[in-house]
Amino acid sequence: MPKVLVLFHSRTGRTAALAEAIAEGASSVKFAEVELRRLENLAPRAADASAPASRCRALESVESIADYDAIIVGSPSWYGGMSAEVKHVLDQLGPLSGGRPLVDKVGSAFSTANAAQGGEETTVQSILVAMMHQGMLIVPPAYGEDVAAARSHGARVAKVAEWVRHAKSHEHGHKH
């Protein structure tokens, strides 16, 4: 059973809503264990007062990310890039446990923007590049901020994580 982490930062609630739909989609995959975690704002007053309080817990430690088979990271797009909160976490992944604890784990990303040309694609690309540097196996995202696309995205990542987990369980007993 794949363990899937949906990790996101949201100030207005849009990215949180998409993260919840992605987590629902991942949960639809048989035996998938899905956890939804938010990133705290780096600046205490950065939260939008109109944003709904997130129902999910905050990420407790960056080190815990390595415990998952798949990680789906979400960020609002700010000037075509990821939020400082997401970048802060991704920057900490390199030094973990000898440098590359995420090799061969499944990764994907999603983004939201407040404008039609808000830079979501470049935000997603920057997150995926960080994942590639970690040696992660990338599942391309479903573009769009609708619930159906988000659920499909989550389910696809969970399925790929299950396939990778299954393949890994068979590789240790065979010599070529």
Q: What percent of the chain has pLDDT over 70?
A: 85
- Please tell me the CATH code under which domain 3-171 is placed: 3.40.50.360
- Cβ atoms of 133 and 99 within 8 Å: the answer is no
User: Which pLDDT value is given to residue 93?
Assistant: 84
Task: Report how far Cα 163 is from the mean position of its chain's Cα atoms.
Answer: 18
SS3 content of the chain, % helix, strand, coil (to 5): 40, 20, 40
Which of 21-35, 45-59, 129-143 is the most confident on average?
21-35
Does the pLDDT of residue 101 top 70, yes or no?
Answer: yes
> Domain spans of the chain?
3-171
Show the CA angle centred on residue 115, arms to residues 146 and 156, nearest 5°.
30
| pLDDT tens, residue by residue, 155-171 | 999 999 999 999 988 87
Task: Give the range among 11-20, 45-54, 120-129, 137-146 with minimum mean pLDDT.
Answer: 45-54
Q: What is the 3-state secondary structure (H, E, C) of 72-123?
A: EEEEECECCECCHHHHHHHHHHCCHHHCCCCCCCEEEEEEECCCCCCCHHHH
User: Which pLDDT value is given to residue 176?
Assistant: 44
Whole-number CA gyration radius for the chain = 16
Q: How far is CA 25 from CA 48, 61, 116, 155, in A?
A: 27, 25, 25, 5
Q: What percent of the chain has pLDDT over 90?
A: 63
Distant-in-sequence, close-in-space partners of 140: CB < 8 Å, separation ≥ 6: 108
| pLDDT tens, residue by residue, 34-85 | 999 999 988 765 555 445 555 688 898 998 999 999 999 999 998 889 999 9
